[in-house]
Each structure stands twice: as C-alpha cells, then as structure tokens.
Structure 1
Amino acid sequence: MDDLLVALCGNPALPPALVDRLIGLAAENAAATAAATAGKNADVRAMVAGNPATPPETLVVLVANDPPAAVCRVCEQEPIPFRHDPDCLRGDCTLPPGARCTGSHESAVHNLRHRAVDNPSTPAGTVARLAVDPPLALRYALAARPDLPHWAAERLVTDPAPGVRHTLAENPGLAPDLIERLAGDPLAPVRQRLARNPALPLAVLARLTGTTRIGPVLLPRVAAATEAEVRDLAASADPELRMLVAVRRDLPDDVRDALAEDPDAKVVAAVAGHPGLAGAVLGRMVAVHGVRVNCQVAGNPDAPADLLRQLARGIPRVPKALREIARHPNADAATLELCLATVEPSDYRARAIAAGHPALPPGRIAALLADPDPRVAESAAGNPSLPVAAMIRLVSDRERPARP
C-alpha cells in the first residue's frame, strides 16, 4: 500500500465503510473485517488502530495481532534483523529514527498498541490486556485513559517514571483511594497536577494545600463546587482554601464581600477582580494590602477612574498594574498620561497600551505618532480616536516618492 493510502488510514473523518476497504487492500483475499485485519502490512494496521472511526470490534482484532502481520516498513526496505540508526544520514531514507524489525515488526506493533490506547473507541477490556506489562511509552498513554481498570491504575500510582504518575494524577476516572495515595506522592509536580483533577475530593484538596504550592488558579473541582461547598471553602481556617475559592467569578454577593475583607493578602488578591465589588471596597483593599493587590484591583472591571489614577500615581510603580490601568475602559486622560510618563524600561509596555486608549485627547494621540518608541507610535496609529486629518497625513507622507 502506498504512503498516501497509509496516511488516509489515519484520517479521523474516514467513513467506517472505507476502513474495512483500506484494511482489505493490505490483505490477500480478505472478505470480512476480521479476516481483513490479518492483512500483511503492520504499519497500515497501526494507522487504522489510531483512527477514532475504526469500529471497536475491528480494534479488538487489531490489538490481538492474531495472526501476525507479514510485513512492515522496515522489513520491506531492509534485510532483517534491522534497527534504523537514529542519526541516519541517508537523504532518501524514510524510516523513523530507531525503527526496528527482527521479523516480528516490533516498532509497528508497538506503534499500533500505543495508537489503540490513545483511541477512545478502543474497548476498555482491550486496553486492560495491554496494561499487563507495558513499556514506558505505553504506560504514559494508559495513564490518561479514564476507563483504565483499577488494578492497572493502581500499578501506575507507584510507577518509577514521574511523568507517568504526573499524567495519571489528572485522570478524571481515577478512583478515590488512588487519588488519596497520589496526594502523598513525593514529587510536587505530581501533587500539583492532582489538584487539577476534576474528581478530586475537597477533603484531599485540603490536604494538598498543606504540602503543595498551588497558586491562585481556578481548579476544576473548585469551579464545580456547589454553593454549600463554596461557603464551606470560604469559611475555612486555611487561607489557601479561601484563596482557591476566591478565584471564582460567580460567588454569592455575601461570600464575595466577606472574602474582600479577608485579613490575608493572597485571598484579597484572588477576589479583587470579581465583578460587583464597590469602589470603596476596592479602595480599602489597596489601603490595607498595598502593592500586593494593586494589579488585581486595577484589573477589576468596576474599578472607578479616581482609584485607577491613585494606583497609577503609586510608588513603587508596578509595571503589571500600569498595564492593567492603561487598558482599563474607566481610565481617563489624566490617568493615561501617568501611564505614558513611565521612565523605567519595564514600564514601556504600559506606554504602548495607553497610546491606543480612546480616552486620550485626539491631539495627544496625533503627537504620539512621532514617539521615539515605535510600539507607542504604532499603537497610536491604531487608536480609534486618532483624528482623520492625522490619518490622511500618515498616508500622504508615505505616498510621496523618495528623493534621489
């Protein structure tokens, strides 16, 4: 079978009827799907095994590899036993690095199994058979299967390869007892990935916050929490849990307002961007916690113009806060001038953002076209408040022929 048809075998839009026909092309005298999977080309089988359009019953036969394929790309091109040099210098060589065949088409069979495990159409029972003693690359693929049998997942919990445990930790099909065990994994990246598992019990999350740095991110389990669970998290004695729930942007008003007055700065920073917070509340956040919450307050969609101006005047200047202020729809011309007046190299991005703000006076925008920083000038050129006369001048200047 030519390379074009091999590639077609991997097309996810391939109709099921064509799957059987393509397998038949690789077989001699094949009359049915089961017989067709005994086709001679192992690489064609591998491509079909990875196609989500392949019927489950066909995948079962392919993974069983009975009877074995007759040929693969390696033994079609080279005398066996053969292992392709990963650093092969032959310009006409099309074999993948490390491809090998000793007569059993090892590389193609491994590729078939890997593709079958990655294929959601492969039945769970077939996947289970591949989990008995899998090589490393296959263990990675198995760890991501939500329908992985408990006994197979249990083996992977103690897998010596950290990456396998890392993949397993985010598997939404993981049983609660295995989640509990992974919560005690010695590696922080595994525990951090576990925190992002949508099936994570909140009790396990409470344990993780004591051993693992998670940060102010919206975890899937927290995003799915019921109102009762949200209230429990917000009332927790653990500030890490309060921070994690404060990241939500659909909190009940009373919960949101209580978190806004939290004594812990990281909790306040997490809730500071929540819509609906009053300007006075945002001002108190800044007064109590200062630069630790400036960026988040500046990004609140309800931040009033006077508070944005106060933040822009603040010392020390916080580059990220200046960028939030410069793009804020409530920023007025005076506030934007403070953003344009930056002098530190780290503040220059705020200047470019401010130059594109439509609240700047038209004359000021036109003047920024000559700014020495090309990013500022380009932003001003794209400002919708740029006077039409300035636009015409820009075009006219570039239409004039260059002097010899």
Structure 2
Amino acid sequence: MFVIVSNPLRGLVRNPALPAAALVRLAGDDRISRWDLTARRAWTDEAFDTLAAHPDPEVREALAQSPGATGEQRARLAGDLSIRVLQAVLEGPPTRWAGPLPGRVHRRLAEHPEPLVRDLLTYLPGTPRDVVALLARDRHPGIADAARALLDRKPYQPASLGRDQAVLFASGGSDWNRERAATDPALPAEWITTLAADPSPRVRLAVSTRPELTEAQRAAIDYPVLPADATPALDWVLAAGPAELDRCVRSAHPVLRRSAACHPDLPADLLAALTADPDPAVRALLCSHQAHVPGELVLDTYLATGDEDLLRHPAFSGTGLARLADDPSPEARALVALDPAAPPELIDRLSRDPSTAVRRAMATDPRLPQPRLLELLDDPPTAEAAAANPALPARVITRLLADAGIR
C-alpha cells in the first residue's frame, strides 16, 4: 500500500508569508532539499536577497536556477565568490520561459579575474555576440581561441565528414556510421540511393530528411516515425530561409514539420499553419519553442502532455479556467486555482474533489476559506500544499515551525 508522508516544511519554504528569518533557519534544515527551498513560483526581493546572502554556496546555486526568480533577481548573484554559483547564474533555470539575464551580467563576467569564469561564457548559451567579441581578445589564449571559433561558427551548420569518409561510413557495418553518413552533405548520390533501402530503419529515416530530396523521393522511402524526443531538430531546417521553411511546414514528413516548429524565426503565417498540424508532437514542439502560439493550444498541449513548463509559457493565461471545474480530467480541474476570477466557493468545492491532485491545487489557493484550509493542513495528502498557502495564519506558521523543532 502506498503511504503519503506528510512534510509541511516543504510547503512552508514555498510560502510567501514565511518570515525571512524563518526562511534562513529552514535553509539549514536537512529535512528539505536545496531545490525545495528555491521552488517558489515567484520571489519577493526581500526573500530572494535573504537567500542570496546565505553562507552555503549550494543554497545560492539553487537560488540562481530558481524558475520563479526574475532575470533581474538572478543578476544579483553575478558578484558571487563561488564559480559554481556563477555557472548556475549563466545556465539559468531549467525552464525555457525564464526571464533573461540583463546583458550587463555577461559583460561583467567577461572581465572576471578568474579564467574559468570567462571560459564559461564561451560555451554556455545566451552569451551576447558583443561579449564573445570581447572575449576573442582575452589575454588567455584558450579563451580567445574558443571565442573566435564561436564568432566564426555559423548557426546550425553541420560539420561534414568529407566525401571519402562519408563513403567509408556508408559502406561499413555500423548502423550508427551509416546513419551519420546518410545525413552528410558530401555523400555521393549513388550512396544516398543505397542507404534509402538500408536494412536499418534509423538509417532510412536519416536519408529521408536530406534537404535536397523532393516530397516524392521522401515518400518512396520506408522510414519509421519516431517519438519527438528521439528525433532532434534538423540543423538545415533550423537555418532555413522563408521559402525553404515554407516547404518544410507543408511537407508530409513529420520530422521536417517538427523541426520547423523549433525554428527561431518562424513567421506568423507558418506558425498558424503548424498550430493546426495533425501531429501532436509538432504542436507540442511549437508550444515549447514559440512564444506567440495561441493560449488555447498551450492549454490543450499541457493537458495532453502534463508538461508543467507550459504553465510558465507567456501565452498561457489563467483567465477563464474556472470553466474546467467539472471537466472529467483531474488535471484540468486542478487548473481552476490559476483562474484569478474563480470564486472562493468554487475553490472550496474543489478542495473536496475525489482527486488528491485537485485538492492539493486548491489547498495552495489564498481564496480558500480559512477553516477549510486548516482542515487540509491536518490531512496528510494535502498538508504540504496547505502549508504553502499565503493565507495561512502567522500563528499556524509559528506552530508548524515549533512542532518541527525550528526556533
């Protein structure tokens, strides 16, 4: 039998009403992880600055990658003495939709006295081109060389094996080598024809995605359709201009359309075309890479995939989600708590939902009547969520801390 272990402390550290002094005390408690400590959906400046001054670099490292922190808040850690913290600042939170760091952070770190810090800027994403140009004149030869290579590199330009090596790979017994050769721009035409009938499905799939093939030629290849996470975006599609990108969007080949959904400069008309794509993977990738997709598509994709990162998407809106209160899906009903116009009586009703996930979602809502909130706090499956509710009375927060032996 599965037993839910209640840990209200994990909820308390996410509670915006928790006093800063208590937050510091919890930061040193081994009953919660560093990532629990920094899992808030949003940070006040006071709470962020309190943890930013914490003596434990692991706490500051986790804070630097908190999804709820703004770029301006994370920038305050750019003067940290720990290289791991600085690396976390540059890597950013594990969400595509985190606020960007201000440009001054990269410029400041490009002048850092420690070469390891300056080197981070040459391989971590997000370094502005003008900062890379500055690093190309760095006094450390290795950093300067890496920066110059970065400046010379064209976006999404795949390296070629060369004709002889491509033929050697294509004629070998390794499926991996033949798959690599199948996408190489230097592979002779006769070998493309040969690999199009290769016994390995992965090799045939690789051949079918070559940019020079016509739709008829692609259709003639017996290639498999793999899950989206097993087929990375094609470099040549990501670098495609308008006409070629249009061809990819209209293609019958799902990998071309999936890659087009990830294009950094997808025009509005092609975005609209992919919004109605029959392939769920295309629509999911569109929501993961494009900021201007329709909000309803983001909602539908979240309900289909459960990808919580989509709830941070700029097109996602809580407005109107109260309409999902009677939806058969508990994942949909749980979203009612994100609707700013949902009435307290609806939140109260859903806090009694048969689904534990729905009750937990409602337990965090400050509109919940206080008596019901305290009931949920005493119920192990919902205690942690209720402890994160900003409407939790101060006396109850004090009691929870005392019960946990935190003074």
Q: TM-score, normalised by structure 2?
A: 0.42
The structure showing larger relative contact order (alpha-carbon pairs under 8 Å, at least 6 residues apart) is: 2
Mark the structure with the bigger radius of gyration: 1
